[in-house]
Structure 1
């Protein structure tokens, strides 16, 4: 979820607890926790409102001087629904970071990772992709996703979604530009090399 930089401090401090978005399709779910540039943000509630129903209290909670200022700042097609999100900053560390830092893998860990990767490969309409993706990120850290995808002959948007799946397993780390293999991912790749 993208959050404007000028809202980061307010969300982090708790001064901003509401966001407004005009989306063609809902892009967040109540109860979800999202990684953002400012850290993890929880969406506690989400509902659709008409611009006319945005209250002054909600505008203040969103960091705006007035409801009119909120409406003026809404992006997107005026015909799309407007969502009001009740948000809060999540201070606890992302469990994926702890998982990614774990470089001591047991035989069970390696087997579990191999099983998950095999399932991802089987579920892909384009065929196996996990090993090639891990290997290219290992060889070419901090390289743009589009460049990595092109080298593999893959669509960039699909490639990014797939790398996110690897990140959820603690195998990769997203950077400002590109990715790098996590300690857990490096340990897994090393174990594969030793087995072959």
Structure 2
């Protein structure tokens, strides 16, 4: 599920606890935890609902001024069904604390390098983790499309690469582009010290 930042802020503050989506099939289920810019959001219920059963109170709980605005915002299609999704804040994204953790001794650094080496070893296109880390180090807050071009990658696969490194607390998203997290900077310095230049990058 995708949310605007305004919608996320309402959910995080408790001002909204519902979302409505027109889906061919549910994209989430109860218990799903969504990692967002405001932390974790948990899905507690997913229920099909007839459009005429949506109430004015439902609309307000989903952040809309009225039910007409809510229904007008849904995707149309005979193969789609409207779902009512109940949400609640579920704490901080664990990656947030991880990316701030720079207290990395030799063993921790070796473990992270081993993870990066494993990702590269399993890649069907060859090693890429150092290239992406280097690009984000050298070109923070740069459009993803421009970074992807420097790496000779299409934009969407490049974004997936950055997200994969984000899972390990090494990168963070900005309004435009990305940057290395404090943890990522520490790992990058270690790679530079160990390998001389941290590996190839554009």
Deviations 1:149-173 (A, max 9, x none): 0111101111111111111101011
**What per-residue deviation string (whole Å, max 9, x for no partner) do you get for residues 30-89 of structure 1?**
323323344432222223334345455534432446555432221354532333211112
Unaligned runs of 5+ in 1: none
Which residue in the other structure is 2:61 paired with? Answer: 61
Matched, 1:163 2:162: yes
Structure 2 contact 38–92 (Cα < 8 Å) conserved: no
Q: Give the paired residue count.
A: 195
Q: Is the 8 A contact 2:36 2:93 kept in 1?
A: no
- 1:21 equivalent in structure 2: 21
Residue 119 of structure 2 is matched in structure 1 by 120
2:198 maps to which residue? Answer: none
Q: TM-score, normalised by structure 1?
A: 0.84
How far apart, in 1, do the equivalents of 2:63 and 2:160 lie?
32
- Report the TM-score when normalising by structure 2: 0.82
Matched, 1:194 2:193: yes
**Superposed structure 1 runs of 4+ greater than 6 Å apart:** none
User: For residues 24 and 115 of structure 1, what CA distance do their matches in structure 2 show?
Assistant: 41
| Equivalent position SS for 1:157 | helix
Q: Distance in 2 between matches of 1:5 and 1:163?
A: 21
RMSD of equivalent CA atoms: 2.5
Aligned match of 2:200: none
Q: Where do 1:76-87 residues align within 5 Å?
A: 76-87=76-87
Q: Which moved more, 1:63-72 or 1:163-172?
A: 63-72
Contact 1:3 1:37 in 2 (8 A): no
For 1:36 and 1:26, how far apart are their aligned partners in 2? 19
Q: Distance in 2 between matches of 1:178 and 1:12?
A: 24
For the Cα contact (< 8 Å) 2:166–2:172, is it kept in 1? yes
- 2:44 maps to what in 1? 44
